[in-house]
Structures are given as C-alpha cells and as structure tokens.
Structure 1
Amino acid sequence: MRAFKKILALALFVYIPLQSMGWGMLGHRIVGEVADRHISSKTRKNIKKILGNESIAMASNWADFIKSDPTYNYLDTWHYVNLKEGLNFQQVEVYLHQDTVTDAYTKINFLISELKKKDLPQAQKQMNLRLLIHLIGDVHQPMHVGRPEDLGGNRVRLEWFNQPTNLHRVWDSQLIEYQQLSYTEYATAINFTTKDQVKTWQRQLAPEWFFESYQIADKLYKGITKPEEKLSYRYNFDHIETLNERLLKGGVRLAGVLDELFG
C-alpha cells in the first residue's frame, strides 16, 4: 500500500502540470458570471444570437473542454504568455506590441478583430466568442503570465493541505474551490464596484492586464521559500483578496470588451 501511494503521488506530479491550463472550471464561470452582470441589455441580446441559450459563464469553459479533441491541440499555447523575470511595464508593453508568437496576447487581439467582421459564419463567431471569453479570464490568473523556465509555476511543486500540487494549480482552482461557493454565489460575494472603478478598469488596455498578472506572479514566486512548501489556511488568508480582485477585474474587463463588440 505504501508503494502504491508513492506511485500515485508521482503520477499526480506528472499529471497536474498537463491539466493546469487556466482558471479552473469554477474560476472561469465566476469571471463569466461577473461579466454577465455588467454588460448592457443590447450586448446580452446580441450575444444570445451567437451562443443561444448558453450563458457567458457556461461558454467560458469550452476552450478547456475542447482539449479532449486532438483536432484543437493548436489552441494549447493560446492560454498564456510566459515572461522572464525582472521586467518593468514599458519592457512588457514593448514585448507585447512586438509579439508575433501564438499566445494569449496575440490571440485576444486576433479574436477581437475577427468578431468585428460582419460576414463571419455563425459557427466561427460562436467559437471565437467562446475563446475570447476564456482567454480574457485566463490572463487575469497571475500564473498565466509566469516564467518560462517553470511553465508558469507548473514546475513549482507544493503541498496544498497535504496533497501534492504545484503553484499554477493552486491559483487555477484550489484556492477558489477552497471557498466552497458556487460560481453564482462567488460572483455575488465579490461583485462590489463603483462606477468609477468599472470605468477605470475597462479603460485600461490589455498590456496593463498582463502586467498586473505579471507583477502578482512575481510576488507569488517570491512567497514560496522552500521546495515542496506546505500551503494551507495561512496562504488562503494572505491571498484571498488578490484572488477575488483578479476574478472581479477579469469579469468587469470582459464585460467592457463584450460591450464594445456587441453593445
């Protein structure tokens, strides 16, 4: 039995990085639900013409679900941008503006430009909208703008309440799931903004979204002080406000983009 447990733990370490590709299912739905509560009625009506009865929250997970189909393997690198340590905002901004590789920044821009086309086929509109909803959520997860050498925290091994995990997965899903709320309950719990806040967040351009996540990721890396560090109650206490703000900003900014496209 002891040998089996060791094999299982090793398998988890190998498996987890391959699965850690964005906010988890719950996180994406929270971002989508927050966005839905901030869009205009005209935007909601036009989105319904594309998604039908599928809500923004439910559409947000399509980009992860489709990983089960090898035909869509080309989407894997769309979910993140990995940046080396020690960059300031100007350096990040220059890099992103010169960016030509397939990553979250180039593909968010691509999807927005595609969705502006009037003659786009319905099936392509639907796929592009689902992807855009997902990717805007992704870039507000700090470890999606992490370091290339550890694959955005996937190789930073940790324990979460005595279970093997990694830094990326903690921020993808485990912190969120620890709150024990449904996505609608979570959206209600964090959806407190002023009109000025919403305007400010929605005016900020995508490079600022990425840089915010990049700065937070840097702090998260520095907060891990030893190999396979054990995280539990204190880590939740120290980071819950940051987590909630990233989810809220992701939803508010997604709403801003959707209003620009469909409002």
Structure 2
Amino acid sequence: MNIMKKLILIALFFYIPVQTMAWGQLGHRVVAQIADAYLTPKARIELEKILGNESLAMAANWADFIKSDPNYKYLYTWHYVDLKEGMTFEQAEEYLKTDTIPNAFNKLNFMIKELKTNKTLAKDKKLLYVRMIIHVVGDIHQPFHAGRADDQGGNKIQLMWGNEQTNMHSIWDTKLIETQQYSYTEYAHNLNHTTAAQRAEWQKTSLAHWIYESNQIAESLYGEIKEPNQKLNTYNYIFLHIHTAEEQMLKGGVRLAGILNQIFG
C-alpha cells in the first residue's frame, strides 16, 4: 500500500502544470543555495535541528511537491499575492495589511512570528514552516507571483516561446532561466557576488516592498504584450530580461538569509 501511495503521489506531481511552480525546481534551489551562504553559525545550527540532513536547496521545492497530496491543499494560496493593476505602493501595502485571505504576505508574517515567539511549537510545525518560508520567499521574487488576479498571475496570457505554445507565467517560472543551462550550484556560484552594503540594503526593506517590487516588474512585462498569442523572439527576450530574473533570484536568496537569521540567529 505504501508503494502504491508513493506511485500515485509521483503521478499526481507530474500531472500538476509546471506554471504553478514559481521558479521551477532550478530557481528555488538557486535562491536557497544563495541564502545558505549567508546564514549565521547559530542559524545554521538551529536549522539543522529542524531540517536534519536536508539542505536549504533540497527543502526549497517541498512546497511544490506536496501539492500532489490533498491533505496540503490548504497551502496552495500561500504561494502568491494578487494585486490590482495600477496600485501605488501605499495602496498595495494597505491592501496587504488588511487582506485576510491566506496569501504569501500574511502567511509569511504568520510563520516568521510563530517560529520566533512560539516556544511550544511542535517539531512537525517547525519543519513545515521552515520549508514553506524557504519556498515562499522564492515565490514572491518571481514577478508573476505578485501579478494580477484577473489573469492568474500571467497564466492566462498565452504566448509563443519560439514555436512552443506557453504562457507568461511559465516563461518566468522556468523557461527563461533554464536557457542558461546551469545546475543550481553553478547558477548560485555565478550570481552570488554581493557586497555587505548591498545585502543590508536589500534586507532592510519590508516584505510589502519586496512584493510590490515584483509586482512592478510584472506590470512592465505586461506592457510588452500587444496581442493574443504573441510570438516572442526568444533570443531577444532572454537578452532583455535574464538579468532581471537573475537579480530577483539573488535578492530572494539574500533576503531569505536575512529572515532565517532574524528567526534563528
């Protein structure tokens, strides 16, 4: 029975559309690997107590893998935040602070607070929250996980990636960064050249700011699409946007380290 359950879960996982997984496996592992480089010694020890031999990079995709298990269906909306077109930062911040529907913003704040202050938090909850924080911080740095609700974060925007039918969300989840053909360790090594001042600057801004920053990138990308099923010049699109995708992964890693150090350091 256990073997059969595992086979069913694996089959369901591969059935899930790739566009539901921000950054795909590669991007999430890059974010987590970068974060690992900036953990304080104390945070590293505390995380090892929770994760055991599971590295941050290996923990980074648990939240997507578990979507195949109906017992964790309640986590689905924790992966993103939808904002209305044309919001100012002040409007977005007010919306984020008052919206009660489970989303990346309010659930990240909840998990961070629980791990920092709840001294009786059960071990399984600690593991769940650490895995989710690693993943969701990555999610909110993928622009279309802070996109518009009416098109499901770019999922409804059908495009041609060369000769392949796809959508805007999927391009930014996987296709764009996978063109570089790096492993996650190679990608993290190639990207991770930050200064202390740069890390401090990125970490000091608020979670609302990070989400709005992603949203504004998404809004600029929406503006490039002029017609249904627009055919993108893949080489030109990569040239124009790969730096943005890479910077978002780098920021995500640096900021994830800041959160984990704040909780456990």
Whole-angstrom CA distance in 1 between matches of 2:97 and 2:82: 15
Matched position secondary structure for 1:81: coil
- Return the offset for 1:192: 1.3
Matches within 5 A, 1:223-234: 223-231=224-232, 232-234=234-236
Q: Which residue of 1 aligns with 2:78?
A: 78
Whole-angstrom CA distance in 1 between matches of 2:153 and 2:189: 29
Whole-angstrom CA distance in 2 between matches of 1:92 and 1:159: 31
Whole-angstrom CA distance in 2 between matches of 1:20 and 1:236: 21
Output the TM-score relative to the length of structure 1: 0.92
Q: Verify the 8 A CA contact 2:19 2:155 in the aligned structure 1.
A: no
Q: Which residue of 2 aligns with 1:27?
A: 27
Matches within 5 A, 1:1-263: 19-116=19-116, 117-231=118-232, 232-263=234-265
- 2:101 maps to a residue whose letter is V
Q: Verify the 8 A CA contact 1:34 1:187 in the aligned structure 2.
A: yes
Whole-angstrom CA distance in 2 between matches of 1:52 and 1:16: 28
Q: Verify the 8 A CA contact 1:17 1:154 in the aligned structure 2.
A: no
- Return the offset for 1:20: 2.1
- Return the offset for 1:230: 1.8
- Return the offset for 1:17: 5.7
Q: Verify the 8 A CA contact 1:153 1:167 in the aligned structure 2.
A: yes
Once the two structures are superposed, what CA deviation does each residue of 1:176-224 show, in whole Å capped at 9, x if it has no partner?
1111000000001111111111001111110100110010000010011
Give unpaired runs (5+ residues) of structure 1: 1-14
Matched position secondary structure for 2:166: strand
Matched position secondary structure for 1:189: helix
Number of paired residues?
249
Whole-angstrom CA distance in 1 between matches of 2:19 and 2:244: 23
Once the two structures are superposed, what CA deviation does each residue of 1:54-105 show, in whole Å capped at 9, x if it has no partner?
0001101000000111111111111111111001111111111112111110
Whole-angstrom CA distance in 1 between matches of 2:228 and 2:54: 43
- 1:133 maps to a residue whose letter is I
Taking a change above 3 Å as real, the CA distance of residues 204 and 129 of structure 1, as seen in their structure-2 partners, is same
- Return the offset for 1:16: 7.8
Percent identity of equivalent pairs? 55
